[in-house]
Structure 1
Amino acid sequence: MLKRISTIKNIGTYKDCNGRQSQFEKLTLVYGRNTYGKSTLGDIFSSLNSGESTTLSARKSIPDDGTTQKVELNFLGADGKKEIKAIFNNNDWKNKLPDHLRLAVYDDAFYHKNVFLGRTLTRNTKESFSDFILGSQGVAEAENIAAKNKELKEKKSDLKKLVQSEFSKVDDLKSFIAEPVIADIDPTKEELDKKREEYALLNSQKKASKAIRERKNLFPLKVATDFSEAVTAINTVLKTGLDNPHEAAKAELNRHIEKHFVKPEGAEQWIKQGLSLLDGDNCHFCGQAITPQANELLDLYRQCFDDQFARHESFVKTTIERHQHLLGANWLEKLDSSIASASLILDSYPELSNEHEIPDTVKNIRISHEAIQGKIEQITLIVNQIIEAFTAKIDAKLANPKAEFETVEAAELDQQLNDLYNDINSLNTFYSSFNKRANEFKARFEVDQIEKDLERLAQQGKDIALKIERYEKNDACNEHISLSKSICDLEGDIPKLKESLRNEQSAFLNLYFSKINKHFNDLGSRDFKLEYKPEPLGNKPIYSFKVKFKGTGIAESDLDKIFSESDRRSLGLSIFLASLDSLEDEVLGKTIIVFDDPVTSFDENRVGQTHSKLVKLADRCQQVIILSHFKDGVANFLKVHGFSKSDIALIEIKKNAQGSYLEVGNKSAFLKSAHHLNTEELIDFVERNIDKLSCKPRVYLEEVLSLRFSKQIRKKQITNESLSKRIDALSEEKIVSQDIAKQLHDWREELNPEHHVWMDDDIENQRTTIASFLEFVFYELVPEPVGEV
C-alpha cells in the first residue's frame, strides 16, 4: 500500500512539499479546503494509474521558476517492510506503480469520462462506460470486432479507390476481370498498331468528307429599310401643322350659355348630345328647316367640341416614338458584318480555285464586297448627319406639335441607297452562281461505306485493346479479387463475432447491473433501476444503460430532468463500486483505491451509506484513500468509524506563504463541534495564544442562548426573529431574570461588529472585554429560578 507521499515539487499549490512524516494507513482520510491542492493529489494518482503525464505537466506552480516537477510516492514492498518509490520526473514516470499493486481512482474525470459528460450521455461516454464495465470480459473481443469493422471500411475504401484509379473506363468490370490473360503481349500490340493505322487513314478521309459536306453556303444579302422608312415618317410629321380655332369657339360658347341658359350646369353636355342627334337640314325635334343663323350657331358648337388638335398631337408623338429609335447606323454594321462572313465562307473552299468559272465568280464577289463596303462608309457619314439633324427638330416638334417644321434633306441618302440596292442585287446573283457550284462539289463526298468500315475497325481495335489492358492491369485485377474476397469474408465474420460476444457478455452484464442497482439503491436512489442496452452504431460493439423510474422507462434525453445531481453522482460511484465487486478477491486485495470526494450529497443517509461501503471495502482491498474538502463529512466519518478501527489515518492539506504541505491531522479537533471550536478560540484569545479572532463574539452569544436554553425556547415557541426579541422573550417567560436580560442586551450592543467600542478598541482591551464576556457566559448566565421552565 501507499505509505507516504515524500515529495511534490512545482505541481499546483505544492511548490516544495515534503510529506515524509505524514504516514498513510489501510484507510486514510486526506482533508483539504478548496484551492489547497486536493484535486492535484487526485491528478497525481490518476497520472500514476494511466502513465499519462500531460495533466501534471500542465499544473506547474505559478509563478513558474523553472524548477523541475517531481513526485515521489513510497509504497510498501511485497514483503510489507521495504519501501519502493514511484517517481515522476522530467514529465515522465521513471518508476511506476510496483508490480504487486494495482490502482483504481474514482474522481471527476472518471465520472465525466464513463458516465455523464456534464448532464448528458455522449457516444464517447458510452464507449468508455462499456470498456470500463466489461474490463477483461470481452474488451479484447470488442476491440477485435472494432478492428475488423475498421478493416472492412478501409478495404471498401481501398476497393473504391482502386476502381476509380484503375478501372474508371471499364464498362463491365466483372467481365473484364474474368477475361483470360494473353500469354505474349508484343504480337497483340503490333496487331493493335496496324488496326490504328488503318483506322486513322480511313478516318482522315471521313473527316475530310464530313468537313466539306458541312461547309456553309452564301446567303443573299438584304438591306434593312427601317432607317429610310423612319426618315420618311418623321419628315412627314415635321411638315404637318394644324390651325386651331378651338379655343375661340370655346369662349364664344361660354358667353352663349351665360346669356341664354337659366341654369348653366350641364349645358355643355346637353348641347353636345343635341349635335349628335342632327340628321340633315331639318330640326330633329320640330321638323322645320334650320336657318342660316342657326347653322352659324351650330358651327360654333362643332368647333368647340372638335378634338382634332388632340388627335394631331397624339399622331405626332406616336409617330416619333415609333420611328425615332430606328434612327441608327447598326443596320449598316450588320450589312458590313454579313459581307465579312461571306468572305470567310469563300475562303473555306480552296478546292474550287481549280474549277472552271468559279475563280472569276469569286473574284467578282470580292470586287463587289469592296465596292459595297466603300458605299457603306459613305452612307454611314450621311446617316450620322441625318441623325444629328433630326435630334433638334424632333425636340422642337414635340414641344409644339401644331407648328410646321422644315424636313431633313434625305435625297443624297436615297441616291446612295438606290446604288447600294443595285450593287447588292448583282452580288446576290454572283452568290447564287457560287452556291450552285459549291453544292455540286460537296455532293461528291457522300460515302456511306466509310462509316461502316470505321465501325468495324473501331470494334476490332476495342477487342484487341481490351486484351492488352487486361494484361497490363493484371496486378490491379488480382488486388481487386483479393479485396473483394476479404470484404466478403469480413462481412460474414463480423455478425458472427458480434452474436458470440453478446452471448458471452449477457450473463456477465446481468450480474454487473444487478450490482450497480444494489449500490445505487443503497446510496439512496431507491426508485431507479438500470438495465444494459447495446448501442447500434459505430465499429465497436458497446453497451450503455437505460433507466426505469418506478417501473417506467425514461427517455435518454430526459435523464437530466429525472436525475438529481446527487443521483448522477451516486450512479457514478455505484458503477465504480460494482466494477470492484466484479474483481476476483486476489486482484481486489492488491488494489489501492483512491476516492476523490465520493460524497457530494448533504443527505445524511447517502453520506452514511457511502462511508459504510468504503469502510467495508477497505477490509477487502489493499488500501482505501479518501480525498475530501467536506470537513463535516470527514468529521462524521471519524465520529462513526474512527473508534471502531485503529488503522484509520487523517492527513490534512495545509497552506502557508510557500505553498501547500501535508500534515498528520488531529482527529479530536475534527470531532469537536463548531461551537466548541469557537469557545476554544475565544479562550485562546484571552490567554494570548492568538492575536486575531475569526469567530464573531456577538454570533457566539446567539449560539450560547440557543444551546443553553434550547429546551425552554422550543417549549415556549420563542421566535428567532432577532437577538433583541429573543432576549426580551426569555425575560418575559421568566427563563432569565430581568437583570440577566439587561446584561444580555448590554453585551448584544457592545459586541455588535458595527459598534465602535468593540471594533476600534485596543487589542488588550478587547481581550479584557472577551474575558468578562466569558465570565458572564460561564458563571452568571443561569436560568431564572422562579417560574415553570
Structure 2
Amino acid sequence: MAFSKITLFYAGNSRGKTTLAAIFRSLASGDAKLITERRRLSATQAPHVVLNASIPYIFQNGQWSSLYPDLVVFDDAFVAENVCSGVEIGAEHRQNLHELILGAQGVTLNATLQGHVAKIEQHNKTLKTKADAIPSTQLGSLTVDAFCALKAKADVAALIQQAERSLAAARSAETVSQQSGFSQLALPAFDRLAIEALLARDLPTLDAAAAMRVQAHLSTLGGGGESWVGQGMGLVPSASEGTDYEVCPFCAQDLDGSSVMEAYRTYFSESYADLKASIDRGIAGLARSHGNDAPAAFERAVRVAIQRRDFWKNFVEVPELNIDTAAIARTWNKAREIVLTALNAKKAAPLDAVTLTSADLLALDEYESATSGIVTISDALLAVNPKIALVKEQAASANVTTLAADLAKLKSTEARHSSATNLLCQAYMDEKAAKKITEGLRDTARGALDVYRTAIFPAYETAINAYLVKFNAGFRLGSVTSVNNRSGSSCSYNVLINNVAVAITGNDGDPCFKNTLSAGDRNTLALAFFFASLDQDPQLSQKVVVIDDPMTSLDEHRSLTTVQETGRLLNRVEQVVVLSHSKPFLCAIWQEADKTSRAALKIIRNGTGSVLDTWDVNQDSITEHDKRHAAVSAYIRSQQGTNERAVAAALRPILECYTRVAYPAVFQPGSLLGPFINTCNQRKGTPSEILSESNIIELRDLLDYGNKFHHDTNAAWETEQINDQELLNFCERTLKFTSRS
C-alpha cells in the first residue's frame, strides 16, 4: 500500500501499532533487537520486513539491507529513553534528553569534546609516569614543573661556589666582620742605578798624575795618613791668618813652594768629603733596608697573608699564595752581600771605581725578579679587598634561609641540565606541550559546544514551554540547562507548578516529578520534548516523522493542539506518519490535511494476526477548536452567548504565550509581563531594543486590563465590573498585537 505526504494508521489496541513503530525505529538505528524481540510467540520463521521507498529496505537474517537514518519516531520508547521510565527519571534519561536537545550537530560537538577530555586523561597518566622517572633527590623542594622549567646557566658551577661562599659568610657573619683583609707585601729594592753610579764616582777636578802623587805620599805616612793630612788641610786657613800666604799648620812654612799642595787642595776638597759621605750613607741605607730584621719582617708578613687567604678562600675567590721565603732569603742575602762588599771596597778607596761583575749583576737580577713576583702577588691579594668588604657588608645583612634556598635552586639547576636528567625533563615537557595542545583543542571544542548550548538550551526551554502552553499543561519547565559530570553531559530542569519549582528527583515524601505530574502530564511533556527537538533540527526538511499514539493518556482538551502541531509539520518535513487508536484524533488531522497529499490505512485482525487495509476516514471525521482563542474570536464576532469573564481572563495568557514564543531570550519561562515591560523600557533606543515605544505602551495597556481578571493581581477579580464595549476593544487589540510577525 502506498504512503503519502501524511499517512494515518488507525488500529485498536494490540493490533500492531507499536510493532510498526518499532520497525520504523529499527530502520533508522539499525537495532535488530527492536524487531526480533517483537517476534510472534507462535512464529516458526525469523522476522522478515520489506519497505519500498526510493529503494527497497529489507530486514532479513537479523539485519537491514540499508538504513534510513532520517526517520524520527515518537513512541513509548522515546518517552522511556528521554523522559522517564514509568514515573521515575534516571540519569540515563537526562543524558539521553541532553543528546536529544543537542541534536546531531551538538552530539558531534560533544563527542569531539569528550574525545579530547579522554585524551587529556591519558596525557595525565603519562605525565605522572614521566614525572616519577625524575629522581626526587634532585627536585629538592621544587615541583616537577618548576624543576623542569629551570633555565640552564653556563657558569652554574661558579655560581654554586659563590652561593656556597655567601651562605658560609652569612653563617659566620660575626667572625667575618672581625677578620682583616690583605696588607701589602713587598721586598725592599736595590737602587742599582744609584749604587752603580756611586761605585763609579770619582773627583773630576783631580787629574790622575796629581792623584798618584798624593796617594804615593800618603802611602809613606802609614795607616791613618790620609785622615791626618785631611784634618791638617782643614787647619791651613786658621794658621795663615795675618799673612798674605798660606802657612803650614805643622811647620809654619810658606806653602806656596810645595809641589803637592795644589793636589792636596783638590784631593781634600768638599767633593771628596761628599763622596765619602755618600758611600757611608749607601752602607747605612743598605743596613736599614736590607738588615737582619727586614727578612724576618717579610717572612712574618707572608705568614699573615697565608693565614688570611686560608680564611677568606671560603668566602671569596682568592689567588694562590705560593711564596718560597727560604729561596727569597737566599737570593736576598746574596744580593745584599754583593752590594755591601762593593760599597766597602769603594769606601776603602773612594777615588777608585768599583765595577760589579756579571755574576754580581745576575744575582741582582734574580733578586729583582723576586721583588717583581712579590709585587704581582701583593697586587692580586689587594685586589681581593673590595670583594672582602662586599662579603662583610652582605654577611651583616644576609638572610641565611634565602641564601640556602638560592643555593639549593642552583644545585637543582645543575642537576636539571645534567645529560641524563635533561632527557627525562625533555620527555616530561614534550608530554606537557602535547597536553597543552590537546587542552587547546578541548577548550576550542568546549567553546564551540558552549556557544551551541548557550543558543540551543534556552531556545529549547522556550520551545518546550511554548508547546506546553499550546497543550494547555498546568506546568512549565524551568532552568533547562546542560550539566557536566564525570559520566558525561546530561540535561537538568525543574518543573514549575504555579511558579513553584519542583525537582525532577527528591526525597521520599517531598514534591517531585513522580508525585506531582499525572500520566497525561508526563506524556504531554514527552510530546513537547519531541516537537521542540524537531524545531531545533537543522535537517528537519529531510526527516520522515513517525508519531505513535500521541493521545495516550492525553486529556481531550489537548487533542486540538496536537492536531494543529502535527499539521504544521507537513510543510517542514519530508513525510509524516501518525499511528493512533483514536479515530477523532486521526480524523481531525485528516480534515486539516491537503486532500491531494494524504493517505489513511488501518490495521485489522486477520485470523490470529493483523493486516493493513485502506481506511475511509470521512466516515469517522470530527473537528475541535482551541477554546481560548475560539472564545475570544467568538466574542469579537457576536458578543453574545459567551462568558465575558472567561473571555477577559483569557487575554493575559494569550499575551504571555505570544511573548514567550516571540522573545524567548528575554521572556524566560516563569517570567512575568511586568518585568518584561521594564526590560523593554531599559533597552529602548539601544542596539538591543526589544519593542518600540508605541508597542511597549500598547502591551502595558493590554496587561493592565488583563490583570483585572486574575487573582494574583486583583483580589476582587471575581467581582470586577465588565463593560462589553471595553472588553471588545481589548479583545480586538490583543489579537491584533499577538498576530504581529
| TM-score bracket relative to the smaller structure | 0.3 to 0.5
Taking structure 1 as the reference length, the TM-score comes to 0.40
Taking structure 2 as the reference length, the TM-score comes to 0.42
